[in-house]
Chain A
Amino acid sequence: MPLEPKLFVFLLSTFLGLEVIRRVSPLLHTPLMSLTNAISAIAVVAAIQVMAEGNTTLGGGAKTFNTVLCTLGVIAATINIVGGFWITDRMLKMFRRETTDRE
């Protein structure tokens, strides 16, 4: 695949990211960090892709090695997906306005 479309997408998403995230209230900077961390655990998709590609092109020890590395990658990424979204939600649940705070 040529480089240009990838650079294009990278640049646009970086600018979009900068614009969107600049608007996040400092109040929520901690949940922001844990949410973006969970989102970047999209690396799980890369682990699946590389494992599948290895399964079709490799054999023997090389295939096993590939599967082991990718499975470890899936584990590490899943920890962040499950942990990241969950803890972000736990944090956000605590942020309340005064009006809803008083029963």
Chain B
Amino acid sequence: MSNPLSTVIVLAAVTPAETAEVANTWLGSASYLIAAGLFILSLKWLSHPRTARRGVRAGEIGMTVAIIGTLLIYRAVSYEWVLIGMVIGSLIGAPMAIWMPMTAVPQRTALSHAFGALAAALVGTAHYYQVLATGELEYDHFTMAILALEVLLGSLTFTGSLVAFGKLQDLIPSRIKGLPNQNAINFSLLGAAILVAIWLTIHPLHQALFPVLIVLGLFFGLCLVMPIGGADMPTVISLLNSYAGLSASLMGFVLNNFLLIVAGALDGSSGLILSIIMCKAMNRSFTNVLFGRMDASKTASADDVYGGKVKSATAEDVAAILDGVRRVVVVPGYGMAVSQAQHAVRDLFHQLEERGTEVEFAIHPVAGRMPGHMNVLLAEADIPYDKLKEMDEINPSFGQTDVAIVIGANDVVNPLADTDPKSPIAGMPILNVGAARTVVVIKRSLSPGFAGIPNPLFAAENTLMLFDDGKKAVVDMVAALKEAA
């Protein structure tokens, strides 16, 4: 074998046992160092689409190196069970990765947060009982506090992510009003869990409380995410991502394992940044997303806003307008994902480009159900990524845009965010589509978006409503364009 690592293993096996152990521990530490470096490089390379796939390779190699290193250090492990666990895990993980449609990415992400948190909670629990069973208490109070926090975070993230998965997969209705005292219940659960954690920190031997901590965590996760729905999902998923990473990092504190601390901290900070971006993009705070409920009652009623001012158009009308214009901006929202319109949108994109029209896509940070959701769908439909523009970049150009086509987006293009300080979306940065010469909104009806408020854009002078299913409307537009040619 040409692999230097295997040569060293062979050498180590023939030398006396102690030397072998030293060599293995040394190899193990080296592998952790290499893995930590590769994980950091992996995220660095991910920053640009050109190098991003190299980042995935680096991550894979880092993970492999770390696992081999661990198996070398901890020779007492039951190799057969590790192998069985890995085979079962691969048999579940691989099909999920291979056959999952891109529209299901948010669900899969939520589910993977659940698995990550579950792994951390299980290992933390195993460690606690192990220390108890060996008879000598080796936890100092600080370690116990960390372990309690880790298990609490792990269990609440597990159920919270499962609920998020259920909602994204439509197994649980997205809009649940929540119990009348939902916040009181949530805070009591969290308060009780923290009290139990503190008690355990002071008295680590009170083992009867450990399962109580886990159960409280599981319930809190359930109650926390249950009333949160729809458009708040990007923030919730990012927060859960952060928690899952943090619990892995805390595990590293308990186990004195630096690699876990590093990898967990990287995941935790990534989730944190994404949550902050999502909150900023809605002008809301974490607490408002988690505990606040949207109140649409103070806003003008739909009748006042729309009354007789809404103009509707057919796909043929829109195609006639589109023929020969200079610049078109497409604004996708969650509705595009629901109606699976991304491939039809690609056809429209090609039709327009063939006519010499410049087409760009305006992506609001919270469009869809997770950060970057729209980009993945449009990339799947073969739309080049240099056509996908961020909000700040494209907003100034709406003034020079002939037609803005809004597909299944609502709150992110609602001018009330700017004009009505009482509306639930007040201060939220929006895509300024109203500045375009003509705005075409493809939507099934005038029903409100997640915020539950009417959208004056739909009644604007320069807006045409195309009432239809997103995909069907775009397909009809493409057909009409082809006919006109």
Give residues in A with beta carbon < 8 Å to B: 1, 3, 6, 9-10, 13-18, 20-58, 62, 65-67, 69-98, 101
Contacts and interface: CB of A to CB of B under 8 A. Distances in A.
Nearest to B269: A17
Contact of A28 (B98, B118, B252, B375): B375
A50 B127 CA distance: 6
A52 B129 CA distance: 14
A71 B261 contact: no
B76 A83 contact: no
Given A48-B82, A77-B89, A85 B60 contact: yes
B118 to A, nearest CB: 5
Contacts of A82: 89-90, 93-94, 97
A41 B247 CA distance: 11
Contacts of A18: 269, 272-273
Q: How large is the interface on B (under 10, 10 to 19, 20 to 34, 35 or more residues)?
A: 35 or more
A65 B256 CA distance: 22
B125 A80 contact: no
Given A30-B371, A33-B241, A50-B127, A41 B49 contact: no
Contacts, number: 374
Given A30-B375, A33-B109, A80-B115, A55 B93 contact: no
A43 B372 contact: no
Contacts of B273: 18, 21-22
A22 B266 CA distance: 12
Interface string B237-281: 110010011001101110111111111111111111110010000
Most chain A CB atoms below 10 A, which of B85, B92, B248, B252: B85
A47 B142 CA distance: 22
Nearest to A91: B376
A27 B390 CA distance: 8
B46 A43 contact: no
Contacts of A98: 384, 386-387
A26 B146 CA distance: 33
B70 A86 contact: no
A96 to B, nearest CB: 6
B263 A74 contact: no
Contacts of A78: 85-86, 88-90, 93
B382 interface: yes
Contacts of B59: 35, 38-39, 85
B142 A70 contact: no
B133 to A, nearest CB: 4
Contacts of B125: 69
Given A26-B363, A26-B365, A97-B384, A79 B252 contact: no
A18 B67 CA distance: 26
A32 B261 contact: no
Given A27-B388, A34-B109, A53-B130, A75 B70 contact: no
B64 to A, nearest CB: 9
Contacts of A29: 274, 277, 370-372, 375
Contacts of B257: 45-46, 49
Contact of B89 (A20, A22, A81): A81
Nearest to B380: A94
Interface in B69-128: 70-71, 73-78, 81-82, 84-86, 88-90, 92-94, 96-98, 100, 102, 105, 108-109, 112-113, 115-116, 118-120, 122-123, 125-127
Interface stretch (B50-58, B311-319, B401-409, B436-444): B50-58
20 contacts: A9-B265, A13-B262, A21-B43, A28-B375, A29-B375, A36-B270, A39-B59, A39-B63, A43-B116, A43-B119, A46-B260, A48-B82, A49-B257, A62-B129, A70-B123, A71-B81, A73-B122, A95-B52, A95-B379, A101-B382
B40 interface: yes
Contacts of A79: 89, 92-93, 96, 112, 115
Contacts of B90: 78, 82
Nearest to A27: B375
B115 A65 contact: no
Contact of A36 (B52, B251, B266, B379): B266
